[in-house]
Structure 1
């Protein structure tokens, strides 16, 4: 009896383990997950890097070009030690640098729009890596996150939604809808199915890696803050607000710093949100947490002058929103537009307590006994009818 019980328990464990493995395999290979979130990441990081390159356009030569204090020769020496590479160091010519900069702008724009995403995603990763490695001592956490995400997005199918590729495929499907499907050989169908499965698996793994990267970033940042005495004492943000490097608007920083209790509460909430973030992803509590993190990053961008870092984090948080959230957004926008249009007065219709109602409305139909009382001295002028009136009896 004891041996039978052990055998039954072992069979149950094996069955449970097999079910879990099958569930994970179906999750990875069944269908691509978070296609809208991947598109938001593509649009967000493409736009963010395009704005970044345009903002630094007047200073491009001092940062990445031949006129930089960190010369291409010094960059080559560093690359030999670190293994980095950059297309900006292939030549010392200014014309070559200007050409690379222009191609970087075009690549960022095309990647944001989703044009030939399979190719432009690789080119975008090369662009971000090259500019990051060329001025690696001038980068911060935002640049590092954009670099990682540009590499991860190469693995994803980030061009299947909200892109020029998606629009082209939809038009192609509509045009080929009435045409009869050509017969395919079994080998061709097997190759197509294998390609679809491989693409789906790589995309899902890429999205899971992106989510794990964001969780690791928040968790490690929160645990690192817990070890510091200033964060435990609630004075960390006070010191940050008084650093000249992070005071784009000193008057605003000074005004916020005067509210000591608010600054202390904000510091404790920052640590709590970052530590708890990886543990609230599988429940509804993640939505208020994401909203509070959005407010935190907006505050960092406004008070500390770190728009690139805040923008990179806000875009990264979008990976945790489900596709039903993004599909609901257009309906929400249309509903808001309809409400706005319905609240506006109709053109040509008078508004106010003393307005005369238009004929044909409530109380204004033919045969109605209701009269409109006008002040003495004013003549009643009936509006010109829109349709022929019935002559009186």
Structure 2
């Protein structure tokens, strides 16, 4: 598999043949059109989303008819009436035949696995987006913020060249690099635009969440997490929740840190501060997964955060993993 040695950050502008320094527009145009950015990051998102969605479907397999099927409380007829008003869409409402639903269910799992593996990724990415939208639109009253984000990311990622790394497509093409030309130019521009939209989506999400918290009294006085720990729905470990809730100063500091990091996130991306903010956000989501029993929500958020890591980080992680796997075990004493 070819390893892209090109750094993520564009080199400093140098004078052209006429001695003129490129303008900001020229640098942005070059960044947008010269090469696809963050190929490893988009491949990691492909693998992550392609793994999470079938896990959700398999976990809810015994309850599939009550959630998405013809027997759901939110019936297909109600869903079709809602789609007629809001312009929504779901393949699951095209027929009320139970066998049709079963074929859609199995097909969604199969598509997710092929998307994860990167087999004919362009086609699979479109089918994956249709599957994700169809299922989450069908059970719209049961979705949460993580589900909504996954729907958006599934639609954005189908515009990226997410199959050029860590995929069966990349294995099939080997070390061959795409030929320069109009097709590669379009692929590069569309990929980079899709990548920038994903980044912008996360900036809007965190910025809006932080500003919304600033307006709340409980976040302002540092007691918001106290009320969260008292909710029975979010107390998988009651003793641990009560223990953490008893440390009032720690709870207040966690509230203020959450607001600060979310508001600062969009502004930290243009500096090395993002390498401090991202681990804090990832740690926050891991805490939500463990303390509030929201693992899927946290997984979607963490995956989406990783789109901001440059390719050099993924190459370093890949080299480190290979080095550790090749390392001989220490001799026993």
Give 1:243's aligned residue. 231
5+ long unaligned stretches in structure 1: 1-14, 175-188, 346-350, 352-393
**Partner residue, 1:133:** 137
Deviation at 1:309, TM superposition (A): 1.2
Asked which structure has the greater RCO (Cα within 8 Å, sep 6+), the reply is: 2
Q: Indicate whether 1:69 and 2:73 are aligned.
A: yes
Query: Could you tell me which residue of structure 2 aligns to residue 316 of structure 1?
Result: 304
2:255 is aligned, of 262, 267, 270, to 267
After TM superposition, the structure 1 stretch with the greater mean CA deviation from structure 2, 263-272 or 30-39, is 263-272
Written as runs of structure 1 = structure 2, the 5 A alignment for 1:163-174 is: 163-170=167-174, 173=176
Alpha-carbon deviation of 1:148? Answer: 0.2
Distance in 2 separating the partners of 1:115 and 1:254 = 48
Counterpart Cα distance in 1 of 2:139 and 2:21:
49
Residues 342 and 128 of structure 1, relative CA distance in 2, 3 Å threshold: closer
C-alpha displacement at 1:129, in angstroms? Answer: 0.6
**What displacement does 1:342 show?**
5.5
Q: Is the aligned partner of 1:102 residue 2:106? A: yes
Flag the structure with larger Rg. 1
Q: Residues 344-355 of structure 1 correspond to what in structure 2 (within 5 A)?
A: 344-345=331-332, 351=333
Match of 1:212 among 200, 206, 210: 200
Distance 1:284 1:22 in 2: 24
Q: Which residue of 2 aligns with 1:37?
A: 41
Distance, in Å, in 2 between the alignment partners of 1:287 and 1:144 is: 26
1: distance between equivalents of 2:157 and 2:323?
33
- 1:224 equivalent among 212, 216, 224: 212
Deviations along 1:44-85, one digit per CA (max 9) or x if unpaired, are: 111111111111111100000011011111111101101001
Deviation of the 1:18 alpha carbon: 7.0
1:84-103 alignment, distance < 5 Å: 84-103=88-107
Q: CA deviation at 1:128?
A: 0.6
Compute the TM-score of the two structures, normalised by the length of structure 1: 0.77
**Offset of 1:252 from its aligned partner?**
2.2
2:283 is the counterpart of 1:302 = no
More off after superposition, 285-294 vs 126-135:
285-294
* Structure 1 vs Structure 2 CA RMSD: 1.9
The alpha-carbon distance between structure 1 residues 127 and 342, as it changes in their structure 2 partners (threshold 3 A), is: closer
Secondary structure of 1:343 counterpart: coil
SS at match of 1:248: coil
Aligned to 1:122: 126
Shift of 1:87: 0.6
Partner SS state of residue 155, structure 1:
coil
Once the two structures are superposed, residues 217-266 of structure 1 have per-residue CA deviations (whole angstroms, 9 ceiling, x without a partner) of 11110010001010010000000111122222222222221222211111
**Within the alignment, does 1:160 sit opposite 2:148 as a pair?**
no
- 2:149 aligned with 1:149: no
Give the distance between the partners of 1:337 and 1:144, measured in 2 at CA.
Answer: 37
Question: Secondary structure in 2 aligned to 1:216?
Answer: helix
Q: How does 1:319-358 map to 2 (within 5 A)?
A: 319-337=307-325, 341=328, 343-345=330-332, 351=333
1:16 deviation in Å? Answer: 9.2
Measured in 2, the distance between the counterparts of 1:205 and 1:194 equals 16
CA distance in 1, matches of 2:243, 2:62: 33
Scaled by the length of structure 2, what TM-score is found?
0.90
Change (3 A) 1:77 1:319: same
Alpha-carbon distance between aligned partners in 1 of 2:281 and 2:79, rounded to the nearest angstrom = 37
Q: Deviations over 1:289-343 (max 9, x none)?
A: 111111100000111111121111100111110001101112222444466x363
Alignment CA distance shift 1:338-1:120 (3 Å):
closer
The residue that corresponds to 2:271 in the other structure is 283
